[in-house]
């Protein structure tokens, strides 16, 4: 694996792993492309979007936020979801993957 490929895997694990983990999915066995795809499905979930925009307030607030702040807000929202809602959302997101992964039951 080249240095660039290794750096890319580490970056994806750090950036998207936290989102996937907060949603209740085990990111440890996922490659960078799957992490990226799953994080996108999680962020695009209708319930997550509703909670995200309700927490952010208005578009001006979102526009002024850094990428790290947006990710932190998303992780906070996912962590504060009711466990049954979070699990249902995670199952919807995982079902969109070509290779389904085991859902964490500890969250």
Inside any domain, residue 102? no
Q: How far is CA 7 from CA 1, 11, 13, 35, 79, in A?
A: 10, 6, 10, 15, 27
| 31 found inside a domain | yes
Domain assignment present for residue 104? The answer is no
Mean pLDDT by 10 residues, the chain (107 residues): 88 92 90 91 94 83 86 94 94 82 55
| 88 located within any domain | yes
Instruction: Tell whether 105 is covered by a domain.
Output: no
Residue 19 structural domain: 3-95
Q: What is the pLDDT of residue 104?
A: 55
On whether residue 75 sits in a domain, the answer given is: yes
pTM for the model stands at 0.84
């Amino acid at each position: 694996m080249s240095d660039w490929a290794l750096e890319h895997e580490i970056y994806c694990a750090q950036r998207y792993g936290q989102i996937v983990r907060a949603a209740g999915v085990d990111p440890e066995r996922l490659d960078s492309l799957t992490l990226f795809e799953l994080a996108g499905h999680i962020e695009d979930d209708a319930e997550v979007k509703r909670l995200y925009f309700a927490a952010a307030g208005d578009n001006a607030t979102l526009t002024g936020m850094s990428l790290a702040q947006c990710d932190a807000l998303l992780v906070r929202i996912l962590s504060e979801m009711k466990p049954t809602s979070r699990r249902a959302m995670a199952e919807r997101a995982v079902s969109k993957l070509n290779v389904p992964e085991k859902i964490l039951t500890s969250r």
